[in-house]
Amino acid sequence: RLFSSLTKSTKNASVLQDAKQRDLLLHRHSDLASIDGVMQKLTENGKFDQLANNATFLTTLQLAKTTSFDHSRVSYFTEDSGRYLVLAEENEHQFPWISLRLPSDGQHDHPLLRDVISEILECHLKTIAKRKEFVLDCDSVAMETVLEMLGKPKFVPDGNFAYFHMNDKQCSDLMKKTFPVPEGFAVKCIQEKDYQLVIEAWDYCDSHVMVKKRLRHLPSVGIYTNEGQLASFMSTHTMGQMSHLYTLPEFRGLGLGKATE
Determine phi and psi for 223, rounding to 5 degrees. -105, 120
In eight-state DSSP terms, residue 205 is -
- Could you say which of 131, 166, 201 is where a domain stops? 166
Give kind and range of the element (H or E) at residue 133: strand 133-137
**Reported confidence tier of residue 159, pLDDT bands at 50, 70, 90:** low
- Summarize pLDDT for 169-189 with one digit per residue, the tens: 888 898 888 888 999 999 999
> Residue 103 belongs to a domain with what CATH number?
3.40.630
The total number of structural domains in the chain stands at: 2
User: Which has the minimum average pLDDT: 1-5, 46-50, 118-122, 248-252?
Assistant: 1-5
Q: Is residue 6, in this structure, part of any structural domain at all?
A: yes
Give kind and range of the element (H or E) at residue 258: helix 256-260
- Summarize pLDDT for 52-70 with one digit per residue, the tens: 677 777 777 777 777 766 7
User: d(Cα 118, Cα 219) in Å, to the nearest integer?
Assistant: 35
Q: Is residue 110, in this structure, part of any structural domain at all?
A: yes
Residues 153 and 194 in one domain: no
β partners of residue 136: 98
Q: Which residue has the higher pLDDT, 133 or 253?
A: 253
Judged by DSSP in three states, 74 sits in strand
Q: Taking a C-beta distance cutoff of 8 angstroms, is the pair 206, 239 a contact?
A: no
- Could you say which of 127, 146, 166 is where a domain stops? 166
Residues 222 and 94 in one domain: no
